[in-house]
Structure 1
Amino acid sequence: MSKVLGISAFYHDSAAALVIDGKIIAAVQEERFTREKHTADFPINSIKYCLEEAGLAVDELDAIVFYDKPLLKFERLLETYYAFSPKGLFSFVKAIPVWLKEKMFLKKQIFDGLKEVGPYTKKQVRLLFQEHHLSHAASAFFASPFEKAAILTIDGVGEWSTASIGIGEGNNISFLKEMHFPHSVGLLYSAFTYFLGFKVNSGEYKLMGLAPYGVSGSEETEGFKKTIKSTLVDIKEDGSIWLDQSYFNYATGLKMAKDTKWEKLFGFPVRRDESKLEQHHCNLALAIQEVTEEIVLKLAKHAKEVTNTTNLCMAGGVALNCVANGKLIRSDIFENIYIQPAAGDAGGALGAALGAYHIYFEKDRAFTKMDIMEGAYLGPNFSEKEISTMSKKAKAVYTKHESFDTLVKEVASKIADGQVVGWFQDRMEFGPRALGNRSILADARDPKMQKKLNLQIKYREGFRPFAPSVLQEDKNEFFDLNIDSPYMLMVAPVNKSRRKPLPKGYETGTLWERLYSERSDVQSITHLDFSARIQTVHKNTNYKYWALINAFKKQTGYGLLVNTSFNVRGEPIVCTPYDAYRCFMSTEMDYLVINDFVYFKKDQPDWEKPEKWRVKFKQD
């Protein structure tokens, strides 16, 4: 029996994952415990959870694997500053002491962190370091159902690599091509995230959500695309890119782009946090989204050429761009595509564990028709006693259902009546998406629900779209999607039969006029371009969630719900029953369901005082 713990930490999205004999026992992000979104702290709580789930101590592990190689990163830092000298002296002086303290002595930091987990004998700990893009590649390929596949990883930067094309076969991964820093698709997209007023390393999905508000094919959008491709990025036929570093500041500076040069290039200043969104912001978002899609498609096409395989596995932060993923699916470059649901750095912890298990320990894989991710439900769950104890401490009022059938019928009825429900069940999801175990649910038919969820529940920007969870067997009734999308990683069009005629002057209306124009009979999950980011819900993977949506279908004829993550803006997805109750009480949610405990807002003490329960989170 081989027991391998993978760790990611010290950059962003710290996490831990435990693999025993090729099976994923547990995987979780540290942010869920500390309540600090995207925390980079050593994942003490995550490791404790993983070991408790298996009943293991640190000493009993066969290996602990870190998800990248810090010495190679340090080499890149030094060589970059040397190449760009004397520019960046100020940031060099700031960065080097941090690197010397935190990164060069990483082994000591890891061993010190493990002491916080529990007692162990240092000599018995086998500590391994795996290259960043190998961790990404392993997280996708070894989790996939494919015996052989091309592997495409795309992110900001690992040690040197910013993208890689490889091939996986059996328990082996070989890299065929790499793109190196400072030329990076992920950093290019993040530079636009910064310029358009969102936070780098967390706001990229907002940029993706803003893009459909741009006017496709308009003179301004096409002009922006031409400017990007003629000035900032040279895109080669194989998908590799060259970025003109005179416009960027991430290599040696303290921010992504050079404001003055970008303002001259695009004709408007860098957008500041929370300032008004104008049409030119939307058009620029669409332009960089379409440029990114072009690059991803060319990389995939080249991966197909050099590997001659029918399957593709993807990971890295750019693999979370579900609009690009949808275009890739419809391109038919590959017959089958598998994307790691925790494609970012958190998933690197899982890839570190899987990579060491199969490559370092040379263990064979066991193949099944499904992936090995268990639906990504790999986090903590909570007993009836723990839920009951929380309720007593919070003075919460609840009813407890003895029949699951009765429970889902009642909850479905509440949703159909326009109520918003916090739905908390069993094991927490691993990765950035809530997939029906830590979700806020609502009726997709309600044309006012998108606005209500954004402004009264999530307390976030009003333009943000919402995703549908649809019964796997009903997906073609609503969407033009010929594959399953269990991890909410694909965007596809809403069927034309569902769409409503647009009003006169729609194209020239303001962002908000277009947003609140009815577009379909499932308005609250239909984005401005008639697209939706889809989760297909499978009876065998998550029966409880499937049964709830099926009960809703029996009552309404619609086998889908709005599904958004159970949190407010700036907060990580809730982990514990108390997290869920506090979040429920601090918002205008109507009902909370924790396993078979049901809480009605107006039954709760001080239900009219949400400020009592609010926690101030950093804005994301």
Structure 2
Amino acid sequence: MRILGLSAFYHDSAAALVEDGRIVAAAQEERFTRKKHDSGFPHHAIAFCLEAAGTDLDGIDQVVFYDKPFLKFERLLETYLAFAPNGFRSFRMAIPLWLREKLFQKQLLRDELRKFSADFDWENRLLFTEHHQSHAASAFFPSPFEEAAVLTMDGVGEWTTTSTGFGRGNTLTIRKELHFPHSLGLLYSAFTYYTGFKVNSGEYKVMGLAPYGEPRYAGLILEHLIDLKPDGSFWLDQSYFDYCTGLRMTNERFDRLFGAPPRSPEELLTQRHMDLAASIQAVTEEVVLRLTRALGAETGSDNLCLAGGVALNCVANGKVLRDGAFRNIWIQPAAGDAGGAIGAALAAYHMYHARPRAIGDRIDGMSGSYLGPAFSDDDSERRLREAGARFTRLDDHAMVERAAADLSQGKALGWFQGAMEFGPRALGNRSIIADARSSDMQSVLNLKVKYRESFRPFAPAVLRSDVAEWFDLDSDSPYMLLVADVVARRQRRMTAEEQALFGIEKVNVPRSDIPAVTHVDYSARVQTVHEETNPRFHALLTQFKAVTGCPVLVNTSFNVRGEPIVATPEDAFRCFMGTELDALAVGNLYLVKEEQDMSLRRDYKGAFELD
């Protein structure tokens, strides 16, 4: 049985194909269109999934959409009625779009799917799941657990903003829900907006900024904005927010509470902004910890599965693991709306069709999240020649040796290998990699390669067998979704003078043996690398360890600020030539910057809209 799952029309459109319960392909539309967070119908992602499965739409048994648009429309109407006459301007702007596209989304989906098959039987083959059911299914069904508690948290689906449930075998039951407008995701997004970052993409910047500050405003948030109960349920005071009816997240009362208007994008960050980030991060962690403690006590399970946009808060995830309410945690790598495509397909397979679930002896059912397009060396060679690239073709062993040697000499390397990752993280196939031991690599990569804010941290990729030697973590973290401290014996304590530095000035102070991946609070967002899911990246780390004694590399996504992660060899070459990367490995094809035609260089800084 083949089932195609779709996510579209809000942000991060995607498609995923499940065959007999196994995820065989998944991709986000943004990677093909080069428009970050593309929300359009995922034509390219669908075409890829069908090609990967060797079929066309006529060979698909079911197409499943990740939420129910009528319920969303109901929320829109009820919200505006509840707040009337406030918000009439945004209501007037939203209704035509809903009437034209979203209210009749079933018809829109039918018309788009008929472009793949004129005779598509949408009456019998098109299904809709609820939004948080899709999130929960994406969390539990690919997990390695026979049974587990499930927690989903995001901005909002149809009505639900938070749900708890329990999965066993091929069954999954949602037990409790919190409803709009009371939303942890929207609370975090309100502070994302207030601190000057873009909602639905800048939340991870707030998380990265938080360690530079102190949670001085946490008490104010808990006193005025959120009524938090012992079990993690909560109520938000809407008099401080404008997201229900307005065109912004917060209002003037919010400004008065925190003493200033919102920061404008690109305005200089101050200690106050860092303290605000630290405060909302601390409150978010407290909410999540109360939710997980209550869920652990209620279910008695050792296992927890997480999804929804808030599950991408890897700092909170790390604290949940260390808190001990659950022994094991598994987080869907595409925890946001893109992952809803996988969840919708799996929910239909296991719940609607009642098909059995096989766990097996794999790490999980996501295949390392390497579910996107791949390119053979012959195909890549043709594409790169047409792009004007100059390269050397090496065998497997020579390529890994050459890359490890260059990395050990301080070079920054574009690493384009195998199948593209599904989800927001590059996990060693569409990555920029570098030596984690370098004291200046963080600033070099931020300012000369990624063209992004200097405060943003980088993640370490480490051999799974060596993770406990370098980090306070001894469990799998293949998707870069758990934060742990660098072990004490590898830390370097800052002097009193260094401690006294203003926030971001601390970023260039070495704090460990691997300063390029050690945040100012000695934490790191760890990716464990497994030979079973990524033998090429595992071989590179193994060779780098042999050369340097260190099994850790910087791993960041292969793109510049505002650009989707590169998808094709041509994308990789353009990014390589538009940045100060030193070398590029595309499969076994090795490119050195000095050998390229410099007339192909381009100004990459302004090529994409800032995120």
* TM-score, structure 1 normalization: 0.97
* Residue among 288, 292, 295 paired with 2:287: 295
For residues 513 and 367 of structure 1, the distance between their equivalents in structure 2, rounded to whole angstroms, comes to 48
| 1:409 lines up with 2:401 in the alignment | yes
For residues 184 and 599 of structure 2, the distance between their equivalents in structure 1, rounded to whole angstroms, comes to 47
Residues 1:512 and 2:501 are matched in the alignment = no
Residue type at the aligned position of 1:252: T
1:619 counterpart residue number: 610
Contact 1:157/1:184 (8 A) holds in 2? yes
Secondary structure of residue in 2 paired with 1:430: coil
Q: Cα distance, 1:97 vs. partner? A: 1.1
Match of 1:585 among 577, 590, 594: 577
The alignment partner of 1:128 has SS state of strand
Q: Does 1:394 align with 2:387?
A: yes
Residue 377 of structure 2 is aligned to residue 384 of structure 1 = yes
**Could you give the per-residue CA deviations for residues 409-448 of structure 1, whole angstroms, max 9, x where no partner exists?**
1110101101110000010000000000000000011101
The alignment status of 1:242 with 2:235, answered yes or no, reads yes
Q: 1:124 to 1:615 in 2, by over 3 A?
A: farther
Q: Which amino acid aligns with 2:194?
A: F
**1:19 aligned onto 2:47:** no
The aligned amino acid for 1:455 is L
Q: CA shift at 1:615, angstroms?
A: 6.5
Q: Would the aligned equivalents of 2:114 and 2:120 in 1 still touch at CA under 8 Å?
A: no
One-letter code of the match for 1:229?
L
Rounded to whole Å, the distance in 2 between the matches of 1:23 and 1:55 is 15
Contact 1:58 1:119 (8 Å CA) reproduced: no
Q: How far apart, CA to CA, are the structure 1 residues paired with 2:576 and 2:495?
A: 37
Counterpart for residue 169 of structure 1: 168
Residues 207-226 of structure 1 aligned to structure 2 (within 5 Å): 207-215=206-214, 221-222=215-216, 224-226=217-219
What is the alpha-carbon distance in structure 2 between the residues aligned to residue 257 and residue 572 of structure 1? 28
Q: Does 1:333 align with 2:325?
A: yes
Deviation per CA, 1:577-612: give whole Å up to 9, x if none.
10101110000001000000001111111268332x
SS of residue paired to 1:468: strand
Where do residues 270-281 of structure 1 align in structure 2 (5 Å cutoff)?
A: 270-281=262-273
User: Which residue identity is paired with 1:156?
Assistant: G
| 1:157 corresponds to 2:133 | no
CA separation in 1, counterparts of 2:600 and 2:173?
59
Letter in 2 for 1:262: F
Cα offset for 1:506? 3.0
Amino acid corresponding to residue 120 of structure 2 in structure 1: T
Whether the aligned pair in 1 keeps the contact of 2:414 and 2:585 (CA below 8 Å) is yes
Q: What amino acid maps onto 1:619 in structure 2?
A: L
- For 1:73 and 1:610, the matched residues in 2 are separated by 44
1:144 is matched with 143
Conserved 8 A contact 1:140-1:314? yes
- Report the Cα offset of residue 269 of structure 1: 2.6
Give the match for residue 202 of structure 2: 203
* Identical pairs, percent: 56
Deviations 1:428-480 (A, max 9, x none): 00000000000000001110100000000000011110000001011111100
- 1-structure distance, mates of 2:498, 2:86: 48
Deviation at 1:304, TM superposition (A): 1.4
The reply to whether residue 349 of structure 1 matches residue 345 of structure 2 is no
**1:427 aligns with one of 408, 419, 425:** 419
CA distance in 1, matches of 2:108, 2:572: 33
Where does residue 78 of structure 1 map in the other structure?
77
Aligned to 2:554: 562
* Counterpart Cα distance in 2 of 1:510 and 1:499: 21
1:310-325 correspondence to structure 2 within 5 Å = 310-325=302-317
State how far apart, in whole Å, the 1-side matches of 2:519 and 2:498 are: 14
Q: Is the 8 A contact 2:584 2:592 kept in 1?
A: yes
- Distance, in Å, in 2 between the alignment partners of 1:458 and 1:274 is 16
Ranges in structure 2 where 5+ consecutive residues have no aligned partner: none
In the TM superposition, what is the alpha-carbon distance from 1:395 to its structure 2 partner?
1.6
Whether 2:540 is the aligned partner of 1:548: answer yes
CA contact (8 A) 2:25 2:371 kept: yes
Which is worse superposed, 574-583 or 263-272?
Answer: 263-272
What aligned pairs does 1:19-168 form with structure 2 within 5 A after superposition? 19-122=18-121, 126-168=125-167
CA contact (8 A) 2:212 2:504 kept: no
- How do 1:389-538 residues align onto structure 2 when only pairs under 5 Å count? 389-402=382-395, 404-538=396-530
Q: Distance in 1 between matches of 2:608 and 2:330?
A: 34
Residue 589 of structure 2 is matched in structure 1 by 597
Asked if the contact 1:583–1:614 (Cα under 8 Å) also holds between the matched residues in 2, the reply is: no
C-alpha contact (below 8 Å) 1:601/1:607 kept by paired residues: no
CA shift, 1:125, in A, is: 5.7
Q: Secondary structure at the match of 2:38?
A: coil
What is the Cα deviation at residue 618 of structure 1?
Answer: 1.1
Structure 1: stretches of 5+ with no match in the other structure: 216-220
After superposition, the Cα gap between the structure-2 partners of 1:347 and 1:510, relative to the gap in structure 1 and judged at 3 Å, is same
The CA deviation at 1:262 is: 2.2
- The alpha-carbon deviation at position 382 of structure 1 amounts to 0.8
| Greater CA drift, 116-125 or 542-551 | 116-125
Show the counterpart of 2:367.
Answer: 374
Match for residue 218 of structure 1? none
Aligned 8 A contact 1:171 1:359 in 2? yes
- 1:503, distance to aligned residue in structure 2 (A): 2.1
Q: Following the alignment from structure 2 to structure 1, what is the Cα–Cα distance between the partners of residues 564 and 390? A: 25
Secondary structure of the residue that 1:82 maps to in structure 2? Answer: helix
| Maintained 8 Å contact 1:490/1:534 | yes
In the alignment, the residues of structure 2 paired with residue 153 and residue 108 of structure 1 have an alpha-carbon distance, to the nearest angstrom, of 29
TM-score (norm 2): 0.98
1:252 aligns with 2:251: no
Change (3 A) 1:124 1:91: closer
Deviations 1:108-130 (A, max 9, x none): 21122223435443368610000
SS at match of 1:505: helix
Deviation at 1:287, TM superposition (A): 0.7
Q: Which amino acid aligns with 2:107?
A: K
For structure 1, which segment, 114-123 or 483-492, has the greater mean C-alpha deviation from structure 2 after superposition? 114-123
